[in-house]
Chains A and B, each alone.
Chain A
Amino acid sequence: MSKKTLFDKVWDAHVVSSIENGPQILYIDRHLIHEVTSPQAFNELENRGIPIFRPEQIVATADHNTPTLNQDQPIKDALSRKQLEQLSENCKKNNITLYELGHKYNGIVHVMAPELGITQPGITMVCGDSHTSTHGAFGAIAFGIGTSQVAQVFASQCLLLKKPKSLRVTVNGKLKKGVLPKDVILYIISKLGTNSGTGYFCEYAGDVVENMSMEGRMTVCNMSIEMGARGGMIAPDETTFEYIKGRKFAPQGEAFEKKVAYWKTLPSDEGAVFDKEYTFDAADIEPMVTYGTNPGMGIKITESIPVEDNASFQKSLKYMDFKAGESLIDKPINYVFIGSCTNSRIEDFRVAAEYIKGKQKADNVTAWLVPGSKQVEAQIIEEGLKAIFDEAGFELRQPGCSACLAMNDDKIPQGEYCVSTSNRNFEGRQGQGSRTILASPLVAAATAVEGKIIDITKHLN
């Protein structure tokens, strides 16, 4: 028998049929939806008189467009309110489970679904959001889709797709102190560029990934899209099974054991061939920051901005108001955002709290901490982290996408820098004219305390 990759195994098990010289019909097990990319799909079906095929396989949450303050009160912005009302109405009409604003399971779609055990190895999962790649951390095929495709899944629980090629990124060795999963993925993207993964599904492997928690693996898979890949995947193992066990939608008892037996067959076969492979050494990875307007423009915090002679590069530096060849250390920073589906899980807040404990936020800094879900929020309080944040002058807000895309009121003002744990540093991503520097929760926390970017490696040793 030919040797298969993890991706092959899951993909092949979901092919309903293949069109000659064309795409395949791929079956989708789980469909996650949110308020921004679903309304037009509901409309489309309604206009064409097509019913939702498998409403029980859909789960909805409100996250992109929600306020992070006073969630118990009516939303002020009329358009946002309308979008959320429409989601509630659509879900109700079609018998779709919705964890709406304020519900104890509400949260960013890529944080709440794994937390509830909806995300499982070996399944196919889609959402009208590019960071659906996050769920690949469990060994699922998970990827973002456009609204037309949301309508297709509504109508048929399937998509027409061409099988992507396979890519494996292996990171071996032991990570240095203060180097977090976020640094690993920012490092990989800085080395490979923002379109190296286009047309590929990426598997992450090696001891660094094996030794990572599920939270860390989700951070890594989350940013697969930032190198152009449709999705990322990590082989399920004991860490995965342990995480899923006992969660709300996880199989229970004997059913769970049976699933685990199946999940154990999923990892890539020894000797399986990938279309492309890259290997990195953990010893070369250091805390990272970005200096430009795409996530590939990243450097080690101790390095200087490179010197490049091309128009796009220069446009980018001009937007950021940085100079080629300069270091970012000691750059004053007035905004810090710890949140987004990349880094808003409990582990991220633990890292931040551990560093912040006993210190004070710098006076010039506005520091927003936005948990990824109601459950994370509850855990932050329960574990006493909120007290640490409060004492240090950080502002803990209510869950949502928040300043990651600044659709709500959480906007970074024109011209200001924000050290952010989110995933995109595009022009204006965090508000018109805002300048984003992507980093790990540790670097973000240190920046908030110092009021400027510091060489965190020195502080740790």
Chain B
Amino acid sequence: MEKFTTLRSNAIPLNIENVDTDQIIPARFLKATDKKGFGDNVFRDWRFHKDGSVNSDFVLNDATYSGSILVAGDNFGCGSSREHAAWAIVGYGFKVVVSSFFADIFKGNALNNGLLPVQVSESFLSDLFSEIASNPQTEIEVNLEDQVISVVGKSIAETFEIDAYKKTCLINGYDDIDYLINNKELIEAFEAQRTY
């Protein structure tokens, strides 16, 4: 996994609530047996019309906006457990998703793939949306070490929460498998004394 410390980037605003994993990556793209290529199909049915033509109304197709931060409406990532959703977002080039609320499984999947979900207050989120709307070049900084997200050059900032263990993993680029395997003895001891 790639290490994550601080990121400064423009952002793409996706001002829609309850964005579910079927929208992030529709089921018909789940037939692959590796993790590659999902980025091409992220938000597929919003980016393209059914006849394959580009939907120029959709924000990812709007050249005004760019960057590796996705700012999304409340309850992002609800729906299925498909990690393909995280792979698709990472594959497209995002490193951070900001929302006022994330679905549990999506959040875990994101963290396991070096994608940082930054949960902010509703008022901060609406500030972000209006900043980006008034200036698409708005830069946002996400500092994982200090757990602060801010609008560069403005006094708009907020701290965010992250599990201390997950933070260490992201900063150092390791994952849960490494940790669990190093605890195999404990696990075997647990198995031996199990009573239920």
State A159–B81 Cα separation when bound (angstroms). 15
| Residue B145 CB within 8 A of the other chain | no
* Cα distance, A39 to B31, chains bound together (Å): 10
Question: CB distance B103 to A426 under 8 Å?
Answer: no
In the assembled complex, A31 has its CB within 8 A of some CB on chain B: no
Q: How far is the CB of B144 from chain A (nearest CB, A)?
A: 16
Q: Is the CB of B103 within 8 A of A79?
A: no
Q: Is the CB of A22 within 8 A of B163?
A: yes
Instruction: Tell me if B175 is interfacial: C-beta within 8 Å of chain A.
Output: yes
B:82-141 near A, CB below 8 Å: 82-84, 86, 101, 103-105, 108-109, 112-113
Chain A 141-165 interface residues, beta-carbon cutoff 8 Å to B: 144-149, 151-152, 155-160, 162
Instruction: Name the contact of A79 in the complex, choosing from B31, B176, B179 (C-beta under 8 A).
Output: B31
In the bound complex, do residue A16 and residue B18 qualify as a contact, i.e. CB atoms below 8 Å apart?
Answer: no
Closest residue of B by beta carbon distance from A151: B177
CB distance from A91 to the nearest CB of B (A): 14
Chain B residues whose CB sits within 8 angstroms of the CB of A267 once the complex forms: none
Please give, as numbers and ranges, the residues of chain A lying within 8 Å of B154 by CB-CB distance. none
Interface membership of A55, Cβ < 8 A: no
A315 to B181, CA, bound (A): 47
Interface size on B, residues (CB 8 A): 55
Q: Name the A residues within 8 Å of B82 (CB-CB).
A: 36-37, 146
In the complex the two chains form, is B113's CB within 8 Å of A148's CB?
yes
CB-based contact A21/B164 at 8 Å: yes
Q: How far is the CB of B11 from chain A (nearest CB, A)?
A: 19
Q: Which residues of A contact B83 (CB under 8 A)?
A: 37, 40, 128, 146-148
Comparing A176-184, A388-396, A427-435, A451-459, the segment that makes contact with chain B is A427-435
Indicate whether A128 sits within 8 Å of B81 (C-beta atoms), given known contacts A148-B112, A162-B163, A433-B50: yes
Q: Is B16 an interface residue (CB 8 A)?
A: yes
Q: A160-B180, A199-B104 are in contact. Are A146 and B109 (CB under 8 A)?
A: yes
Known: A122-B196, A149-B108, A156-B177. A424 touches B75 (CB 8 A): no
One of A80-88, A103-111, A166-174 contacting the partner: A80-88
Chain B residues, CB < 8 A from A273: none
CB atoms of A25 and B183 under 8 A apart:
yes
Which of B18, B175, B190 counts the most chain A CB atoms within 10 A? B18
By the criterion of a CB under 8 Å from any partner CB, how many residues of chain A are at the interface?
Answer: 69
The answer to whether B16 touches A315 (Cβ under 8 A) is: yes
State whether the Cβ of A19 lies closer than 8 Å to any Cβ in chain B.
yes
B187 contacts A25, CB within 8 Å? yes
A198: contacting residue among B103, B184, B195, CB under 8 A: B103
B50 touches A25 (CB 8 A): no
Knowing A22-B163, A144-B105 touch, does A83 contact B176 (C-beta < 8 A)? no
Please give, as numbers and ranges, the residues of chain A lying within 8 Å of B16 by CB-CB distance. 311-312, 315
**Least CB distance, B64 to chain A, in whole angstroms:** 20
Expressed in whole angstroms, the minimum distance between the Cβ of B111 and any Cβ of chain A is 9
* B146 proximity list for chain A (CB < 8 A): none
CB-based nearest B residue for A48: B177
> Does B18 lie within 8 Å of A294, measured CB to CB?
yes
Per-residue contact bits, chain B 52-81, to A (CB 8 Å; 1 contact, 0 not): 000000000000000000000111001111
Set of chain B residues within 8 Å of A294, measured between Cβ atoms: 18, 20, 78
- Which residues does chain B contribute within 8 Å of A27, judged by CB atoms? 187, 190-191, 194
Q: Is the CB of B187 within 8 A of A429?
A: no
Whether A158 pairs with B187 at a CB distance below 8 angstroms is yes
Contact A156 B26 (CB under 8 A): no
Q: Which residue of A lies closest to B82 (CB)?
A: A37
> Does A230 contact B104, Cβ atoms closer than 8 Å?
yes
- Identify the closest chain B residue to A154 (Cβ): B177
B26 and A146 contact, CB distance less than 8 A: no
Contact with A428, one of B45, B104, B109, B186 (Cβ below 8 angstroms): B45
Known: A128-B81, A147-B83, A155-B177. A16 touches B104 (CB 8 A): no
Residues 137 to 187 of chain B near chain A (Cβ within 8 Å) = 163-165, 175-177, 179-181, 183-184, 186-187
Task: Name the residue in B26, B30, B104 with the highest tally of chain A Cβ atoms < 10 Å from its Cβ.
Answer: B104
Assess the A228–B78 pair: CB atoms within 8 A: yes
Chain B residues contacting A82 (CB-CB under 8 Å) are: 31, 33
A149–B86 alpha-carbon span in the complex (Å): 13
Q: Which residues of the other chain, A, contact B30 by a CB distance below 8 angstroms?
A: 36, 64-65, 407
Cα A194 to Cα B79 in complex, Å, equals 10
**Residue A405, interface by CB 8 Å:** yes
Query: A414 interface residue, CB < 8 Å from B?
Result: yes
Minimum CB–CB distance for A142 against chain B, Å: 12
Asked whether A13 is an interface residue with its Cβ less than 8 Å from the other chain, the reply is yes
Is A252 an interface residue, CB under 8 A from the partner? no
For the complex, what is the distance from the CA of A198 to the CA of B187, rounded to whole Å?
A: 29
Find out whether the CB atom of B86 lies under 8 angstroms from the CB atom of A40.
no
Q: How far is the CA of A162 from the CA of B22 in the complex (A)?
A: 26
B-chain residues with CB within 8 Å of residue A146 when the two chains form the complex: 81-83, 86, 105, 108-109, 112
New contact pairs (18) apart from A146-B105, A152-B177, A407-B27, CB-CB < 8 Å: A25-B180, A25-B187, A36-B30, A39-B33, A48-B177, A82-B31, A82-B33, A83-B31, A132-B81, A144-B80, A146-B81, A148-B177, A157-B187, A157-B191, A158-B183, A262-B196, A312-B16, A315-B16
The 6 closest A-B pairs by CB, nearest first: A22-B165, A148-B112, A146-B109, A156-B180, A39-B33, A146-B83
B contacts, CB < 8 Å to A: 15-18, 20, 22-23, 26-28, 30-35, 45, 50, 73-75, 78-84, 86, 101, 103-105, 108-109, 112-113, 163-165, 175-177, 179-181, 183-184, 186-187, 190-191, 194-196
Q: Can you identify 12 A-B contacts, CB atoms within 8 angstroms?
A: A13-B195, A13-B196, A25-B180, A83-B31, A146-B108, A158-B180, A160-B176, A162-B163, A195-B103, A198-B101, A198-B104, A432-B26
